[in-house]
Amino acid sequence: MLTIQCLKQQFIIIYLYNQSWKSVLCMNGNKLHMLVITLLIGCLIDFALAEKHECNQNTCYSVLSDTAARVIQSNRCTTEERQKRIQCFEVLPAEQYAIPLGHTVNMQCVVLNQHGKVQWRAKKILLGYDRSIPGYSRFRIIGDVGRGEHTLQITDVQRDDAGEYECQVTPVPVNNHPLLRRKTYLEVLIKPNEPQILYQNVQLPDRKLIISQPDPILRISLVCSAVGGRPAPNFKWLLNRHEIPNLEVKTKTPMSPNDVAKMNNLLKIWGKLHPIINNQENDEQSSLSILKAGLEDGDEIVCSVSNAATQINHDPMKRNLSITITVEVHTPPGPPKIVSPETNHVYLDGEQLRAVCVSSPPGKPLGGLFWRWLIRTSQVDDSNIQKISGIGGRAVLDSVITHLLKPIYEV
């Protein structure tokens, strides 16, 4: 059913093309007849393509059904269309516009020999024929109308602006001017948040990964997460600035001899870690599983992420976002050994005893050496103990005790 609102909108467009109400009202019979036909065709197209109407700030827009949004797309002007002066697209919108968040996009649409009306569709919303697009303050149509230029400009592009857009030109069947439609896609580029490396679903304190060796748990799994990016980021793992390969690649077809040779070479280099990387398509995280025994104290593991939004940065050093964690390997100390005096020794009354105990390797963190006296319990805290000192290093851990011996009298 055709509504007054639709007829009113179509009539206003006719006025815009004729520049004055007087020229519209003073048409002769044939012209007035054509005007009515044009009004009806415009309304019929709008209602044939629209499933419902939505309103934004007191302005209503047609909302397309899914079927209406999948019609045949028009191409650029052919030689025949140019010769016969049939309306056609001189300049098409690009297949896709990839625009960073907050920037401005200009979606081109130029119509040659224009006779119909031009409007844009934003996803499922028909924006109407008013070039200022009321209700959408960041949207407007720019360009020279006389040259058929109808560029859709969106300023301060936001995340929700992403989607399908289409430039549409209504047909004029009387003069064989066809319906024109050409769609494009707007992708809003957004940098992901700073990546985080999680171990057992928890961020690592001080960005240190502490592992124990030896350990009955053979593998350790890390998760790198970087959320909020569009498109989803690409992940890359590095160990001491060398990219970590995935040694568990599942292929549907047998590997070629070259692939087998390449994999064998990687196994020679990375076999002690045997890394397994799991990257899901369009996911915001990546997991890395490695053998603990292959890690060494001081190793640096880096997760680097990037997407189209980060890659457009003018500074090459900022085109990847990364986080670094340091591996700290904890090992137990070796068994203690008294190295001085080397043999049993008989001491005289009042003579100084100096004993040295060593643990090698010292362990990390450094182990503790404690002396236990087996003379008498009461002498453990003997005031004659002059000095207990400990020295730790990568090779040995020693402890020295100096004690003045006194005769022990038993009654």
The whole-number pLDDT of residue 408 equals 41
- Per-residue pLDDT tens digits for 264-281: 888 888 989 999 999 887
In a domain, 46, yes or no: no
Q: Across the chain, what does the average pLDDT equal?
A: 80
Query: Do 319 and 212 lie in a common domain?
Result: yes
Query: Do 270 and 358 lie in a common domain?
Result: no
CA-nearest of 93, 95, 113 to 167 is: 93
* Final residue in a domain of this structure, among 148, 171, 189: 189
* Residue 194 vs residue 399, higher pLDDT: 194
pLDDT exceeds 80 at position 184: yes
The whole-number pLDDT of residue 370 equals 78
In a domain, 125, yes or no: yes
In a domain, 277, yes or no: yes
pLDDT exceeds 80 at position 291: yes
Mean pLDDT across 84-98: 97
Query: Do 65 and 167 lie in a common domain?
Result: yes
In a domain, 47, yes or no: no
In a domain, 26, yes or no: no
* Final residue in a domain of this structure, among 155, 189, 223: 189
* Final residue in a domain of this structure, among 291, 310, 330: 330
Q: Domain range spanning residue 373?
A: 336-404
Q: Give how many domains the chain has, as a whole number.
A: 3
Residue 243, beta-bridge partner list: 238
pLDDT exceeds 50 at position 74: yes
DSSP 15-43: HHHHS-HHHHHT--HHHHHHHHHHHHHHH
- Per-residue pLDDT tens digits for 11-33: 434 333 333 333 434 445 444 44
Is 214 in a helix, a strand, or coil? coil
pLDDT exceeds 70 at position 331: yes
pLDDT exceeds 90 at position 251: no
Two structure tokens written together for 154: 């969106």
Please tell me whether the overall predicted TM-score, pTM, comes out greater than 0.85 for this model. Answer: no
What distance in Å separates the CA atoms of residue 177 and residue 181, rounded to the nearest whole number?
13
In a domain, 83, yes or no: yes
The whole-number pLDDT of residue 49 equals 46
In a domain, 28, yes or no: no
Identify the CATH number of the domain in which residue 135 sits: 2.60.40.10
Task: Report the relative pairing of strands 385-392 and 397-404 from DSSP bridges.
Answer: antiparallel
Query: Do 326 and 340 lie in a common domain?
Result: no
Close Cβ partners of 84 (under 8 Å, ≥ 6 residues apart):
none
Residue 199 identity (one-letter amino acid): Y
Is 162 in a helix, a strand, or coil? coil
